[in-house]
Structure 1
């Protein structure tokens, strides 16, 4: 089998970064996330391939936090589109964990299926290669297996890395994976290596039947209890690998400008505010309920899987300790009178 020695990691990153914009997990100051290899500063940044997960998922690579959509110019009574800003630059996400790979799969479902194709998303996704880092040692807040994620076999990965003594087993899974493998073939070694064994998860939750039960819980009093601590800060949505709410705005100067979209959050009152002033989700409880119904019921009904991938980021980041595992458990235990 092919093995990438840890000592050759930076050589591989340099090689892959020559032909594509390469994103890798780094600690940068007080933040950790996926940053472009071109911006790496060895004096201040730290590579984090051996860390279970970074704070910010690589969602922004395929769905940027802010992106221009098109430029326009008004000429008399006509408005002409000067330039559609589709990103076709080759990209590689390397070191992404299976929970985040599953997150990309869910974004693919939203933006590329059910009769609708988002061309801005598609132009980036078609040019993105995923080199995943399989997980064999679940963290204290990990529960991906309970949400339908295989931590050792991420399905949408083009290459899978498996950490072994002194390096990583390198396994190409797709044509994209074979292409990047050829780029670094001389830096990989043929070697026998023993595959790791998946360790037991500390966090456990039973999601089975939750989506079906929630169909009868829209007006259940449990939502007031669960939402009372929530500050509607939105940090859970920004750190989530699957949240995809966005707003579309326009920037103009004189007779020209551009339209852009940017991340938004269903936890904010303005997100559902209508032009006439009506807001169907005016209260914190209603916004909280919508978020968890979307994660646990609505998405599964439409796409066949929970929108939560069990990465645990929201558990760690929530300033008031809201825990999606506890929410699932309370839903399971709730009396619906059925």
Structure 2
């Protein structure tokens, strides 16, 4: 059974929930797009139904809600250090199934990728409640069905937005107090077929032919085409590379803070090491590293592809490089 809401009752629920939660959803920022007089669709805090952008895919994913672009890990002096306080409120995120699944991919990286959990990630991640938006059509560059990220059943509340008619399924009783309305028959639906289908390579076949795939000429194309801007990794909901920065205060150089800052395997300087050496200087080599991590290395370790098929990397690339086509090429090479 579900609950049918009108816009007012939905906004009333948001108002009730905002006392204990910060609420995020896709929003439209007027005039903030990459080109003049264009808008930017990204994630931000909302307070009403009209704030939510449902007609267009967000350029950026919701990962920065729990994995900030710049995050202060601790403040330090000569004698001691202190971790920053975090907001006591919980976090509600309205997101589509692919993005909800991307949080699970990040969990593997930050919480299950060795003997220790990343506490800075975990204390934000533990606050998250999933308010999943029904998505049955997708967008032109989506291929979530191919990656198995088209469904997400471990939601707290599931929403169907049909113009101003809203239906929800409250699975987590923790939120039942906020939603009231007419009870109706309701079964969540998920997309079953994208416009694009991607044939992912068999990882066992890659393992058997790893050196051949590694040295294949297909990567040379991207040495010529890629400009190493890193937009694909910034927009990606599962890319998780970072670097560390120690910031020393001008008024007291013996005090400062350590920050974690997003980085990218695609940009210059990422593989620089002591002694002036640098690995993967060719852009095609970087592309190989990124792609193989998404479809091979990660799957070999965690049993699932890292990519969720959101298609954002294809949407934002200024050189029109298609991740979808690269994966298809790898599959063809492996099958041959």
Q: What TM-score comes out, normalization by structure 2 length?
A: 0.87
Q: Residue 248 of structure 1: which of 234, 244, 249 is its match?
A: 244
Conserved? CA contact 1:159–1:170, under 8 Å: yes
- CA gap of 1:262–1:59, structure 2 versus 1, over 3 A, is same
Which residue matches 2:25? Answer: 24
1:141-197 per-position Cα deviation (integer Å, ceiling 9, x unaligned): 110010121x2x314432222345753432234xxx321233x133x4312347657
Residue matched to 2:220: 224
> For 1:90-105, what aligned pairs fall within 5 Å after superposition?
90-105=89-104
The alignment's C-alpha RMSD in Å is 2.4
Call closer, same or farther: CA 1:306–1:295 in 2, change over 3 Å. Answer: same
Structure 1 residue 58 displacement after superposition: 0.7
Which digits, 9 at most, give the CA deviation of each residue in 1:125-155, with x for residues without a partner? 1111111112111221110010121x2x314
- Equivalent of residue 204 in structure 1, options 197, 212, 237: 197
SS at match of 2:60: coil
Q: Structure 1 residue aligned with 2:231, among 227, 235, 245? A: 235
Gaps of 5+ in 1: none
Q: Secondary structure at the match of 1:285?
A: helix
Of 33, 38, 45, the residue aligned with 1:36 is 45
**Distance change (3 Å), C-alpha of 1:223 and 1:191:** same
User: 2-side partners of 1:122 and 1:86: how far apart?
Assistant: 14
Query: What corresponds to 1:70 in structure 2?
Result: 74
- Equivalent positions of 1:1-16 (< 5 A) are 1-7=1-7, 8-16=9-17
Q: Distance in 1 between matches of 2:136 and 2:304?
A: 23
Listed as ranges, the matches of 1:140-155 within 5 Å are 140-149=140-149, 151=150, 153-155=151-153
Alpha-carbon distance, 1:259 to partner: 0.6
* Structure 2 counterpart SS, 1:185: coil
Give the equivalent residue in structure 2 for 1:139: 139
2:226 and 2:321 in contact (8 A); partners too: yes
Judge conservation of contact 1:69–1:86 (CA < 8 Å) in 2.
no
8 Å CA contact 1:21, 1:89 repeated in 2: no
CA displacement at 1:18 relative to structure 2: 1.8
Following the alignment from structure 2 to structure 1, what is the Cα–Cα distance between the partners of residues 295 and 204? 6
Q: 1:6 to 1:310 in 2, by over 3 A?
A: farther
- d(CA) in 2 for partners of 1:211 and 1:89? 46
Q: Point out where structure 2 has 5 or more consecutive residues left out of the alignment.
A: 31-38
Does the CA contact (< 8 Å) of 1:53 and 1:97 recur in 2?
no
Query: Residue 15 of structure 1: CA displacement?
Result: 1.9
Name the counterpart of 2:159. 161
Cα distance change on mapping 1:120 and 1:4 into 2, 3 Å:
farther
Size of the aligned set, in residue pairs, is 320
Summarize the Cα distance change of 1:324–1:278 in structure 2 as closer, same or farther, 3 Å threshold.
same
**Would you say the 8 A contact 2:13–2:179 is kept in 1?**
no
Aligned position for 1:170 = 168
Moved more, 224-233 or 83-92: 83-92
Residues 79-109 of structure 1, C-alpha deviations (whole Å, 9 max, x = no match): 311x112535333333201111111001111
For 1:61, the equivalent position in structure 2 comes to 65
